[in-house]
Amino acid sequence: MAHAILIVDDDIAIKESVEEFLTLMAYEVKSAENAFQAVDILKNFQPDIVLTDIMMQGMDGLELTRLIREKYDIDVMVMTGYSADYSYEEAINSGASDFIFKPFRFEELNLRIKRMLREAAFKKERDKLLKDMKKLAITDGLTGLFNFRQFFHQIKQEVERFQRYSRDLSLLMLDIDFFKKYNDTWGHLEGDKVLMSMGMIISSCLRSMDSAYRYGGEEFAVLLPETELEEACLVGTRIGANVRKAIFTPEKGVQTSVTVSIGAAQIISGEDVTSFIKRTDKALYRSKENGRNRLTVAS
């Protein structure tokens, strides 16, 4: 796929000659005679690089550079004559990625453009890597839900918000019933399929403001901001019903299903993070003690 370049220069001869050369170099090229035309073109055209003269009527190249850097993720190379009253530092401080003096050789221009494209590709790859690393740091790789560490980070923030603004906050804790027996019977690979399915089922039952976590092993947690206990119980009941509906085939000719035990609680005045989690966890274990496959509300 050809890289795209927008040329902005009110010197028609230079603009056309640069446009012709870059087209021959297999770039996709558009051009504008002033900064205002360039701004209009950018509404519908996403170049990899904007190549702009500094000295232009109306809006000069540095103003255009600042505007582009504020509104778009596009690199800018500015052009100026040797006698112009602009410095390299001014161009860079305005957001330009490079600076070239007129008259220049086309070969030099092409080398500078290629360098800018390489640097942009490296930056994009680095940013993606950092984003992926950040996601890995807070995400459980098997279920796709947030991990234990992120749960504690988020619940602390939500409890602080409750303490400051008295906004409703509920918590669900879920545990897959007899999961050890399932693993012992069918093997851990089949158990992992159940865990992956749990991640999808829980996520499908939540609103955009809710968040789900793999709390550990076969245990999960769901944070429900702006949610009273009654509504949280409806969410938990829906998750439990959808889990029961899921059919697994651990080996050919065998179909089976699993259930979950659930504890539900709404935070109360004066309660801290540890107490809130313990109270919900106790409700979960009462569900297990009373026969599993049920939801229990915390006292």
DSSP letter (8 states) at residue 214: E
Whether 33 is a known active-site residue: answer: no
Q: State how far the Cα of 298 lies from the Cα of 229, in Å rounded to an integer.
A: 10
Residue 142 to residues 135, 200, 273, Cα–Cα distance (Å) = 13, 11, 26
Q: Tell me: the pLDDT tens digits for 108-138?
A: 999 999 999 999 888 888 888 888 877 778 9
pLDDT tens across the length of the chain (299 residues)? 689 999 999 999 999 999 999 999 999 999 999 999 999 999 999 999 999 999 888 898 999 999 999 999 899 999 987 655 666 778 888 889 998 988 899 999 999 999 999 998 888 888 888 888 777 789 999 999 999 999 999 999 999 999 999 999 999 999 999 999 999 999 999 999 999 999 999 999 998 899 999 999 999 999 999 999 999 999 999 999 999 999 999 999 999 999 999 999 999 999 999 999 999 999 999 999 999 999 999 98
Q: Copy the structure tokens of residue 236.
A: 């938990």
4-131 shares its CATH topology with 148-297: no
Catalytic residue, candidates 158, 218, 219, 271: 218
Residue ranges covered by each domain of the chain: 4-131, 148-297
Q: State how far the Cα of 268 lies from the Cα of 264, in Å rounded to an integer.
A: 13
CATH architecture of the domain 148-297 equals 2-Layer Sandwich (3.30)
Q: Tell me: the pLDDT tens digits for 15-35?
A: 999 999 999 999 999 999 999
The CATH code for residues 4-131 is: 3.40.50.2300
DSSP letter (8 states) at residue 139: B
Q: State how far the Cα of 121 lies from the Cα of 117, in Å rounded to an integer.
A: 6
Strand partners, 98: 77
Look at residues 240, 241, 231, 123 and name the one whose alpha carbon lies nearest to residue 171. 231
Q: What is the pLDDT, as a whole number, of residue 73? A: 86
Look at residues 287, 158, 179 and name the one whose alpha carbon lies nearest to residue 233. 287
Look at residues 167, 161, 145 and name the one whose alpha carbon lies nearest to residue 227. 167
